[in-house]
Structure 1
Amino acid sequence: MQSETLPAILERDDNVVVSAPTASGKTALAELAICKTLAAGGTALFLAPLRALTNEKESEWERFEEMGYSVYVVTGERDLNTRRAERADILVMTPEKTDSATRKHDSARYSFITDVDCCVIDEVHLLDSDKRGAVLEVTISRLRRLCEPRIVALSATMPNVEDIADWLDAPDACTFQFGDDYRPVPLHASVETYATGENAFQNKYRRLYRALDLAQPHIEEDGQSLVFVASRQDTVRAAKKARDVLAERDIDIGARGDYDLHTDAQDLRNDTLRQSVVDGVAFHHAGLSREDKNAVEAWFKEGKIQLLFSTSTLAWGVNLPARCVVIRDTKLHDPLEGEVDMSPLDVLQMLGRAGRPGYDDKGYAHVVCEGRDAEKYRRLLREGKEIESRLAAELDSHLNAEIALGTIRDLDDVMEWLQTTFYYVRAQSAPDQYRFGGKLRERVRETLQDLVASGFVETDDELRVEGTPLGRLASKFYLRLDTAEGFKTLADRAAEETLSDADVLEAVATAGEFDSVSARRDERDAVRAVLGPDGDDLDPGNRKVLAILRASMDGNTPSELRSDAWVIRQNALRMVAALREFLDRFAGPYAANVACRVEARVENGISADAVGLTAIDGIGKGRGVKLAKEGLQTPADVLAAGVDGLVDAGLSEGLAERVIEQARDLPVVEVEWSEFPDRIAHGTSEMHDVTVKNTGGGARGEVRVTVNGVEMSSESRYLGEATVPVGVFGADADELTFRVEVAFAELPLLPESETRTVAVE
């Protein structure tokens, strides 16, 4: 396979598409394309399907560093070093991070993305992923328009490789489709059923016993088996139970007599893993420490671990083939979607791991499923999975994003953009499967009209199009358009009336992104314990989201909700940050400050009175709660306590010094009332100046003046010193209470306020 593709990669500059079985050596093709780019003085971008694999490539490609080339990984979990990114010879990114970079390509921070000369797409069949396919598709289309890199797309076996080639303009001489006869180890694949019962928990163990029945013959022959399960928790539980079952069945495991393995296993951080490994059974998932994962992978490659339980992460690129692969779980629980079928892509990717080149004459792969699903999986094994575009379901949001970015400026641009997508190519080759078929232009024109009617896009008589502030914010935060409309409606309301924490939480909990969240029966009592009667009018899934957010604010999430809480909270934090900007843009800093404080409380689990502490760099959940318990609730309290006070509250002296230094960078508001009167005669009026000073660090805020609760004036500005004219009128009331309030849009500080009362005589 490598020999046949080598001339296309080395001797030509065209785009290349290669579809070949798993474990047939596609990584070497990626490295070959990268080497050609480096030899010409260019920059290569490697798109990895998972963040875990970007880290793997970083260590695997240290040999490029030894040759004098720079490899730099850009992911959302790391702070971007712009200087390193600009100087990198090889960039390693996920599709999502590349999408973000290409959206911001005209900023100094992300301009490096336009210097890419060659883009290698690993596992291009990710295009067919419901959740991630559209992102990969629009990102590649955008990258090609920005800098026209050479594209080398690599994939596991797929029937319609010619569609990918058409999309990427790869000529026939550079398009390759290798069948199973190119697998280094022939594959025997089957679908196995099990006897189901009413109890889902018991069914899980029935599937486990079925999986062990399939793996046992290979383990007894000193072979290895890899069993894929639905969740991290399931890998641990399955490994524990499998150890007991193998012992009951008196199956001889070589690891039990391996003294060196027993000694080395003591260094593992995970207690359960440490106990399992010595019996030749292990588990692997993204939540393990890197050291533990590295150890498991090394021992599996050495054959010391004979039975390994894993989540799907191992199927996408980590090179750990086994003689026998079993998919125990074809359904999984998604915190945002409820119970879903495992994607056909994942199934094929996992099965492709069966068979160890150089060790096995044949690989064995099995899908364990309910009888009613058996034919579906047999057809998948027989026919494979054609790659479809997933852009149609998200066409409105992606079209809005391109317009907001300015890459589409008129109707002609819209049509040109459409023709750069895989959606366009696929709809031409399989019109019956795509609802609009050959009428894509009409579909896009209707979508554009809907964007204009909804206020995301504006157009003129010459058919030029431009993103509105609403459209740009929706694009910036990757929001569904119905969610963006809901946020805009709330912002409009907040411009007229006071916003509450409850308003912010409900707007996020009812966002379209959470439409598919389900509340299991055992979770509903926990939801009611958190919310009481609040939110009774919401769907159960939205109430569950609301309960998780409310509980997170108090730092006390019920155990029944914790399994889904992390994913829901991370998505919600992104949306609260988006809502904060909507409020800032359409209602002002005062409303945005409410969302900012809610965001800080959800993230840190801290009380409303002490949330301002989180504005200090270095104060997060643990330290904030600790200081609040000692009576320090605001940055002003921290400054007043000084280093000694913070040390008494439990911080180390070095940390206390840094916290004090950071607290000094926050704004400190002082209000000077000058000659403001104590009394005024009925029927008269006077104008007086009130001075608002910020004696601390600079920040943008809103100065609002009210009298007896009615707003007189408000001004948004970068706060240094502001003089606010205030009218004092002898009205019908016996007294007038004037309040000057200052709120900061981007800091979770409680609004500062001072009042003066004027008697009317």
Structure 2
Amino acid sequence: MEVADAVPEFADAFPFDEFNRMQREAVPALVESNANVVAAAPTGSGKTALAELAICRALAAGGTAVFVAPLRALTNEKESEWERFEDLGYSVYVVTGERDLNPRRAERADVLVMTPEKADSATRKHDSPRYSFIADVDLVVIDEVHLLDSERRGSVLEVVVSRLRRLCDPRIVALSATMPNVRDVADWLDAPPEATFQFDESYRPVDLHADVVTYSHGENSFADKYRRLYRALDKAEPHLREDGQALVFCASRQDAKQAAKKARDELAERDIPMGARGDYDFHNDAKELENSTLRKSVLDGVAFHHAGLNKGDKDRVEQWFKDGKIELLFSTSTLAWGVNLPARCVVIRDTKYHDPLEGEVDMSPLDVLQMLGRAGRPGYDDVGYGWVVTDRSDADTYRTLLREGKEIESQLAADLVEHLNAEVAMGTVHGVEDAIDWLETTFYYHRAKSEPDEYGFDGIRDRVRETLDDLRERGFVEADGGVLAPTTLGVLCSTFYLRLDTASAFHALATQDGDFREDDVLQAVAAAREFDSVNARHGEKDAVRKVLGNRGDDLEPGQQKVLAILVGSMRGSVPPELRSDAWVIRQNALRLLAAAGAFMDRYDRPRGENLAERLAARVDTGVPADAVGLTAIDGIASGRAHKLADADVETPAAVIDAGASGLVDAGLSESLADRVLDQAEGLPAVTFDWGDFPDRVAMGENEACEVTVRNAGGGGRAHVRVTATPDDGDPVEMTTTTGYLDDPLTVPVGVFGANAESLTYTVEVTFPDYPLRPDSDSRTVRVT
């Protein structure tokens, strides 16, 4: 079947002219009907084309499509890959983080690309103008729907699909690797038999021979990696000698890089003829690689690939592997889920990996099957070879997996309380009956009906009632005449995607007496439930102690590690021992700091909100405390902020004083200097007018005075606080007011003759929405 015959107006959107057998059988259901579709097919058989066919039908009808990609690393790849739709006049937009979201682009997009987590966050906020686009979509394509079985992410995908079906009832097209219980998924999604496809291994473009190879586990994990590497090379060697290619999957980016370096030496020892050092053009192209390790290894036919490489390096590695210039490629699992780079031989070197948030975990069975599915190059190989390298004690587990596959189970039960809270917060659940109605839309309910004993189907109603009671007892929901409604705590918990314990801790922080210290906020974040599984490995404990000193003594070791990474990030220097986990922990911490700031805002603690904003800016950029205000200027991130701070330009006011020429002297280009100056002038700039404020007052006397606060810059929400501090005591808060400081604001200050030698009056202005240090001014009055 020609593409042009099936979707004539979209023929240019496909990178081929003719559908294969699997695609051909699915075309009628995708193009000639509006039915929901579930298609399970072997990895590498061309499922992406099914997604694209469904998108074509939606676009032809003037609709909007959402593509839910399993990994964030793949969303940008889809945006690049689907420039073909852009060429036809349709817009493709990747929905990323909160701060980067462009609501206008999202609303106007024809194809939206999201991860399950981003889709969950967006649907929770669908009634806000910023995310209203998500409630008006016509098609949802779920790529790799077997992600439902993932312990960490499966429940998120499940509730997203159920929520979207209630919000706007879009057409659902769910794609999957081969799974035994595809009918369960089809029943859940109401896909009719004629639109449910279970393409077996006969549809694989190349037959697969998959097996297990064992190694003897030792005491040293570092040495174990090399034992597994040698086993992997043993399996790859015969194919490499026959000019075949091998793909070896490793647990982490660093592992892939180190394995490639070690493999070069080992291949030379084994005298395996590889590489293209005589290829002059290839030699010159290799010089353009940014990664120096990669630059050295590709000429020997060995490379590595992971999401941390820049796009240019990744694109070259992928192309050179397709061209056969790279014969042995080490990669992380991202490559298995994304780019279709098959090899004659695939070896999974690592079945366990270190997760910064979970510690050492077993690789998901889904990942294992997905990786092995890359074995065999269509058009080149008659058979592909896949191997799992594992400890003898785990060998039978993997043999069973390879023989029987993996049924897809629901993981919703483990996170039911958080997801039920979200439904109450959105107003879709008002009691037990509503909760049951909601639950009946989930895969969990359908799977429980299919396996009632395993899932405890008869006890589901009791479980829902107990979960709602728990939410009420903990203050996340309240009951009025038997009708449940969300509390402020419940709404914040849902909006910011928090664990319940974390939300409770942030509530306690925001409502505590007295002022906030930096460590109050940082330790609340480090102790969050989201970091529960972080553990401090033996080699990291000294580094943690060196960063923290006596800070965080009451925290658990894993929490101390998180705190050390936050403190090190704020100083611009995370110890090398902690860097491998730092990025993931820092990104999660920034989300939690934003949530902590929102709690401060909701519970009227503007000074705490400002502190959270400043801490987030410092964790993100490593800018010193005195210079953190620079990050409020668009275009000033870590590097430029440090450059300006080194030139003693540490605040937006100092930027204005320096002028364009001073900023150029500090190292900015002329065009950037003008933009930065313009941005700085748009930020608040406070001055204080004390009028006829006295310098002395008689004992026992009182005088009513006023101080005027003026703002010479851009407006903003401001909190003004007046305190009086006796020379022998602590500050006493006299007045506070919050509002937009667009016009001059006059605040009353009562000068009184207290029993002290002098009193210092301080007026402080805090801008909660900006990472600006509070502005303050003081006057001291002698008591006579």
Counterpart of 2:476 in structure 1 is: 456
Provide the C-alpha distance between the structure 2 equivalents of 1:749 and 1:85, rounded to a whole number of angstroms. 30
Which residue is equivalent to 2:186?
Answer: 165
Aligned partner letter, 1:464: V
- Where do 1:527-546 residues align within 5 Å? 527-546=544-563
SS at match of 2:113: strand
Contact 1:411 1:464 in 2 (8 A): no
1:730 and 2:753 aligned? yes
Hey, what does 1:276 align to over in structure 2? Answer: 297
SS at match of 1:466: strand
- Is residue 323 from structure 1 mapped to residue 340 from structure 2 by the alignment? no
Q: Which residue in the other structure is 2:120 paired with?
A: 99
Is the Cα contact below 8 Å between 1:71 and 1:90 reproduced in 2? yes
What is the root-mean-square deviation in Å for CA atoms of aligned residues?
1.9
Q: How does 1:134-145 map to 2 (within 5 A)?
A: 134-145=155-166
1:418 Cα deviation from its structure 2 partner? 1.2
After TM superposition, the structure 1 stretch with the greater mean CA deviation from structure 2, 305-314 or 722-731, is 722-731
Match of 1:607 among 624, 632, 636: 624
The answer as to whether partners of 1:601 and 1:607 remain within 8 angstroms in 2 is: yes
Q: Could you tell me which amino acid in structure 2 is paired with residue 716 of structure 1?
A: T
CA contact under 8 A between 2:65 and 2:140: conserved in structure 1? yes
What's the counterpart of residue 689 of structure 1? 706
Match of 2:142 in 1: 121
Give the aligned partner of residue 146 of structure 1.
167
Instruction: Write the mapping of 1:594-633 to structure 2, written as runs, cut at 5 A.
Output: 594-633=611-650
Amino acid corresponding to residue 453 of structure 1 in structure 2? E
Equivalent residue for 1:715, pick from 737, 749, 768 = 737
Q: CA deviation at 1:425?
A: 1.3
- For the 8 Å contact 2:38–2:186, the answer to whether it is kept is yes
Cα offset, 1:77, TM superposition: 9.2
Inter-partner Cα distance in structure 1 for 2:83 and 2:379: 25
Q: Which has the higher mean CA deviation after the structures are superposed, 27-36 or 250-259? A: 250-259
Q: Does the CA-based 8 Å contact 2:432-2:464 persist in structure 1?
A: no
What are the equivalent positions in structure 2 for 1:279-428 lying under 5 Å apart?
Answer: 279-428=300-449
Does structure 2 retain, via aligned residues, the 8 Å contact 1:411–1:465? no
From 474, 482, 486, the equivalent of 2:505 is 486
CA distance in structure 1 between the partners assigned to 2:645 and 2:85 by the alignment: 50
Distance across 2 between alignment mates of 1:38 and 1:531? 55
- List runs of 5+ in structure 1 lacking aligned partners: none
Q: Which amino acid aligns with 2:766?
A: A
Deviation at 1:316, TM superposition (A): 0.4
1:742 aligned residue: 765
Conservation of the 8 A alpha-carbon contact between 2:124 and 2:494: no
- Give distance in 2, aligned partners of 1:254 and 1:657: 50
Checking the alignment, whether the CA contact within 8 Å between 1:185 and 1:361 is kept in structure 2 is yes
Shift of the alpha carbon at 1:192?
0.6
User: Which residue matches 2:82?
Assistant: 61
Displacement of 1:202 in angstroms is 1.0
* Equivalent position of 2:576 in the other structure: 559
CA distance in 2, matches of 1:269, 1:606: 27
**Does 345-354 or 60-69 show the bigger shift?**
60-69
Q: In terms of mean alpha carbon deviation, does 296-305 or 479-488 score higher? A: 296-305
Alpha-carbon displacement from aligned partner over 1:392-446 (angstroms, at most 9, x marks no partner): 1111111212222233344433222111111111222223333x43222221221
- Superposition deviation, residue 236 in structure 1: 1.4
Selected match of 2:214 from 160, 175, 193: 193
Inter-CA distance 649–37: structure 2 relative to 1 (3 Å threshold):
closer
Between 1:630-639 and 1:349-358, the stretch displaced more is 630-639
Residue 488 of structure 2 is aligned to residue 465 of structure 1: no
1:139, CA displacement in angstroms? 1.0
Aligned partner letter, 1:568: I
Q: CA deviation at 1:256?
A: 4.4
Deviation at 1:351, TM superposition (A): 0.7
Which residue of structure 2 aligns with residue 45 of structure 1? 66
- Residues 427, 438 of structure 1: 8 Å contact kept: no
Query: Match of 1:702, as an amino acid?
Result: H
Structure-2 change in CA distance of 1:656 and 1:32 (3 Å): closer
For residue 255 of structure 1, the aligned residue among 276, 284, 287 is: 276
State the alpha-carbon separation in 1 of the partners of residues 448 and 592 from structure 2.
Answer: 33
> Number of residue pairs matched?
757
Letter in 2 for 1:252: P
Question: Equivalent residue for 2:17?
Answer: none
Letter in 1 for 2:627: A
CA shift at 1:273, angstroms? 1.5
Residue-by-residue CA offset, 1:532-552 (whole Å, 9 max, x unaligned): 222223211111111111111
* Shift of residue 31, structure 1, vs aligned partner: 2.1
Deviates more, 1:92-101 or 1:357-366: 92-101
In structure 2, what is the equivalent of residue 443 of structure 1? Answer: 463
Q: Whole-Å Cα distance in 1 between the matches of residues 475 and 391 of structure 2?
A: 48
Cα distance in 2 for partners of 1:616, 1:589 equals 21
Q: Aligned partners of 1:484, 1:254: CA distance in 2, in Å?
A: 55
Give the counterpart letter for 2:661 in structure 1: D
> How big is the shift at 1:483?
0.5
- More displaced stretch, 425-434 vs 743-752: 425-434
Q: 2:511 & 2:95 partners in 1: Cα distance? A: 37
Cα distance per residue 1:470-505 (max 9 Å; x no partner):
112111211111001001111111xx2121111111
Structure 1: distance between partners of 2:644 and 2:598: 29
For 1:642 and 1:62, the matched residues in 2 are separated by 42
Letter of the aligned partner of 1:474 in structure 2?
C
Cα distance in 1, alignment partners of residues 662 and 23 from structure 2: 67
Return the letter of the residue paired with 2:739. Answer: R
Question: Please, which moves more after superposition, 648-657 or 225-234?
Answer: 648-657
Q: What is residue 655 of structure 1 aligned with on the other side?
A: 672
Per the alignment, in what secondary structure is the counterpart of residue 197 of structure 1? Answer: coil
The residue aligned with 2:9 is none
Question: Are residues 1:638 and 2:660 paired?
Answer: no
Single out whichever of 524-533 and 101-110 deviates more from structure 2: 101-110
Secondary structure, aligned partner of 1:255: coil
Q: Given residue 746 of structure 1, which amino acid in structure 2 is its aligned partner?
A: D
Query: 2:129 aligns to what SS in structure 1?
Result: coil
Alignment of 1:667-682 (within 5 A): 667-682=684-699
Q: Return the offset for 1:78.
A: 9.0
- Asked if 2 retains the 8 angstrom alpha-carbon contact of 1:42 and 1:89, the reply is yes
Secondary structure of residue in 2 paired with 1:439: helix
Return the alpha-carbon distance in structure 2 between the equivalents of residues 186 and 291 of structure 1: 33
Partner secondary structure for residue 325 of structure 2:
coil
Read off the aligned partner of 1:660 and give its amino acid letter: L
Displacement of 1:168: 0.7
The alpha carbon displacement at 1:506 in A equals: 0.9
Give CA-to-partner distance per residue, 1:177-213, whole Å, 9 cap, x none. 2222222211111111012221111110111010000
For the Cα contact (< 8 Å) 2:629–2:773, is it kept in 1?
A: yes
CA–CA separation in structure 2 for the residues paired with 1:68 and 1:611: 43
Structure 1 letter corresponding to 2:673: A
**Change beyond 3 A, Cα 1:59–1:607:** closer
Deviation at 1:318, TM superposition (A): 1.2
**1:714 aligned partner, one-letter code:** T
1:511, 1:670 → 2: CA distance? 39
1: distance between equivalents of 2:300 and 2:45? 31
Q: Name the CA shift for 1:574/1:634 in 2 (closer, same or farther; >3 Å).
A: same
Partners of 2:275 and 2:299 within 8 A in 1: no
Native 8 Å contact 1:588 1:716 kept in 2: no
Separation in 2, partners of 1:73, 1:749: 31
Distance in 2, matches of 1:510 and 1:384, equals 39
Q: Distance in 2 between matches of 1:254 and 1:645?
A: 53
User: Aligned partners of 1:375 and 1:738: how far apart in 2?
Assistant: 75
The answer to whether 1:511 aligns with 2:511 is: no
Say which is worse superposed, 481-490 or 642-651, in terms of deviation. 642-651
